[in-house]
Chain A
Amino acid sequence: MVERRRCVGANPAAQRLGVHAGLGEAAAAAMAETLVTRVRDPALEEAALRELACWAGRYSPVVSLDAPACVLIEVGAGLRLFGGAQALAAAIRAGCRELGFAARLAGAPTPLAARWLARAGTDAIIMEAAGLEQALDPLPLDVLECPPQVLEMLLSIGMLTLGECRRLPRRGLARRGAGGVIEDIDRALGALPDPRPGFVAPSTYAARLELGVHEAQAEALAFALARLLAGFSAWLEARQAGVERFRVRLMHEGREATLLTVTLGSASRDCARCTRLAREHLARIGLAAPVCALALEAGEIVPLAARSRELFAQEREPCEDIPEILERLRARLGEDAVWTPQCVADHRPERAWRRALPGRAPVAVAGCAPARPLWLLMHPERLAGRDDRPDAPLRLLRGPERIESGWWENGDAGIRRDYFIAAGGAGELLWVYRDLEAPGAWVLHGIFA
């Protein structure tokens, strides 16, 4: 990472080659031939911080941004809910990793102390105000982030840690321009109030992820998308809301973006479910070109009650919701491949049913008295036969049932048929009809399975 031709950060691989913050860009390039440099973008950092703050809303309603590079979460009220400070810290750490951030975490009764502890990389979680002095005393002075001349002055008089600084005469320090340092330390110890403006999550959600490597593989894109969806799901959880659909824009270099609309069967904010579904969609569409960035846009959000936790561990095998499995089947097999049969009040057998969306309230239709077969042939089959009966081995067992209807409609919607129940050679029961419009035409229309 480069700012004004100087390195400001390096990943572990670059660090192993000796690249470190403060190095000139040319010097760094000389040390590591394959070094990839990126110019630091404060706007992106700010956006990342906001995304993290959105996500942190799932753990606490009180979140504030503390630029640069820090998000403060007030967790005191929710410790019991999340199973204690250590469990919460582990959850937050895992969540940050899922979002793709490397985070340093620390906890303390005051926001400033927590920030300093995190900056020093201690991973400490201080629960009581009494232990605060002891924890802060050994911290180096650079966590203070005070102006360079103040830091230099303190170092020049031999101060190395906060503890040493704290024990100096306050008035003397103030006279030497380091009054701010004293106030900061007081704030960190809780002696001075330290109110923070709360972070207000945006009312609409949009996130964008630049891909380092241009990617056309559905699986890799799904992986990147999972990272976006994790933040999205946390944002929804903080708002106690769900979505019924969301859009993913797959950006290509130099051409129109591919738009992917993912529709959920029911409102949800379950990250795993959204990811699964998006993966099916990604696998189905053919990508015309490699994707350089992903953008996620939420559709309309709907209120969704918080999930209640079970008092007793559930003993049954976890089972999926019906809407969830159906939407997954629809995503892979197509919208028309999943349906519910429904009765329609019509005498014509092929119009006495229709495909309906599963899960909708059925239309009440009076049941029909005459026997109907369980299987209907999509394309009725012509049978060989004479005027009065079909050829052997078919035997007519019951009939005729005259169905004559639909003559008022245009085209060939009108029918005039005599239906019989017939037995085949092996005793199977079939539903056949004689078309009265075409004498001698016997047709197999259904099977009594």
Chain B
Amino acid sequence: MALLPGLADSPALWRGGALAVPAAPGIPTGFPALDAVLPGGGWPVGVLTELIAEREGIGELTLLLPALAKLSGEGRWIAFVAPPRLPYAPALAAAGVELSHLVVVQPEGADARLWAIRQVLASHAFGMVLAWLDEAGGAPLRRLQLAAEGGSGAAALFRPPAAARQSSPAALRLRLGLTCGRLAIEVLKRRGPRVCEPVILDLPRAVRSHAVVRDLPPQPAAAGLPARHA
């Protein structure tokens, strides 16, 4: 059925295929293929974004580096709250992140961690907040989402793989995995229609992990990296 003339442009009409238009444009991720599926064309600002990485070391942090480099270069501040490991200064500097605008906050204990994330989000002073949160119920997450609201910065919350099955008030939820050595981003939730296909990105990594060295026979179930999520 053809649309009535003029109706197509009416702002009152919402079409199923359209992405929500957020109040502020997002922060470009540096990957056009990813920008295309994100409402606002980048990391959304003023809302919570959940990143659920299958495991550590697949490029979950590299994915954010272009945005971090751009923001810190513009003089905006970046916070790492409760990172699971030491953010390594030489690597960050090599990626173009302005270290003088980077703050690492290391709270001890679950309560202090939630408090710190909330304070940092609610201050609205940071261009981007990266926070790591293992266990969290719906209520603390909603409080974090409320704290992030109204700010002009992006908020990336790293969650363990198990969190993908739980519901969450975050406006954008991405699951990160590896496919043939490339990062596959599955959009679990966004303000817009479902994305069926994962977005495959070629991250600028140190070396391609599927460049297999064939001198070793594969051995099943050997202890490699201890199971720990980012």
Chain A interface residues (CB < 8 Å from chain B): 316-322, 324-326, 328-329, 332-333, 337-344, 349, 352-355, 358-362, 365, 367-368, 371-378, 381, 384, 389, 391-398, 421, 423-430, 444, 446-449
* B90:A367 contact, CB within 8 angstroms: yes
Residue B116, interface by CB 8 Å: yes
Residues of B within 8 A of A371 (CB): 91, 206-207
Known: A375-B83, A426-B55, A449-B230. 16 other contacts (CB 8 A): A322-B126, A332-B116, A338-B106, A339-B106, A342-B89, A355-B104, A358-B103, A374-B65, A375-B86, A376-B85, A391-B222, A397-B208, A426-B54, A427-B209, A447-B56, A449-B58
Query: Complex: how many Å from CA A330 to CA B8?
Result: 54
Contacts A343-B93, A446-B88 given; does A375 touch B56 at CB 8 Å: yes
Query: Complex: how many Å from CA A425 to CA B218?
Result: 9
Residue B165, interface by CB 8 Å: no
* B125:A325 contact, CB within 8 angstroms: yes
Residue B210, interface by CB 8 Å: yes
Can you report 25 residue pairs joining A to B where beta carbons are below 8 Å apart?
A318-B124, A319-B152, A322-B77, A325-B120, A332-B115, A332-B116, A333-B106, A339-B103, A343-B99, A360-B100, A372-B94, A374-B61, A374-B87, A374-B88, A376-B85, A392-B217, A392-B219, A395-B216, A397-B207, A397-B209, A424-B55, A426-B55, A428-B58, A449-B58, A449-B61
Bitwise interface map of B from 121 to 138 toward A, beta carbon under 8 Å scored 1, else 0: 001111000000000000
Shortest distance between the CB of B80 and any CB in chain A (Å): 9
Contacts A316-B152, A394-B224, A430-B57 given; does A353 touch B125 at CB 8 Å: no
Chain B interface residues (CB < 8 Å from chain A): 54-62, 65, 77, 83-95, 98-100, 102-108, 112, 115-116, 119-120, 123-126, 150-152, 178, 181, 205-213, 216-219, 222-226, 230
Residue of B nearest to A344 (CB): B89
* B224:A393 contact, CB within 8 angstroms: yes
Chain B interface, >50% SS class? loop
Contacts A375-B85, A389-B216, A428-B178 given; does A325 touch B123 at CB 8 Å: yes
Residue of B nearest to A339 (CB): B104
* A427:B178 contact, CB within 8 angstroms: yes
Shortest distance between the CB of B76 and any CB in chain A (Å): 10
Closest 6 CB pairs of A and B: A428-B57, A371-B206, A353-B89, A341-B89, A392-B219, A449-B61
* A377:B224 contact, CB within 8 angstroms: no
* B102:A341 contact, CB within 8 angstroms: yes
Query: Complex: how many Å from CA A359 to CA B77?
Result: 10
* B57:A447 contact, CB within 8 angstroms: yes
CB-contact partner of B89 in A322, A352, A430, under 8 A: A352
Residues of B within 8 A of A394 (CB): 224
Contacts A317-B151, A360-B100 given; does A373 touch B213 at CB 8 Å: no
* A362:B99 contact, CB within 8 angstroms: yes
Residue of A nearest to B151 (CB): A317
* A361:B104 contact, CB within 8 angstroms: no
Residues of B within 8 A of A396 (CB): 213
Query: Complex: how many Å from CA A375 to CA B88?
Result: 5
* A361:B100 contact, CB within 8 angstroms: yes
Residue of A nearest to B210 (CB): A427
Shortest distance between the CB of B119 and any CB in chain A (Å): 6
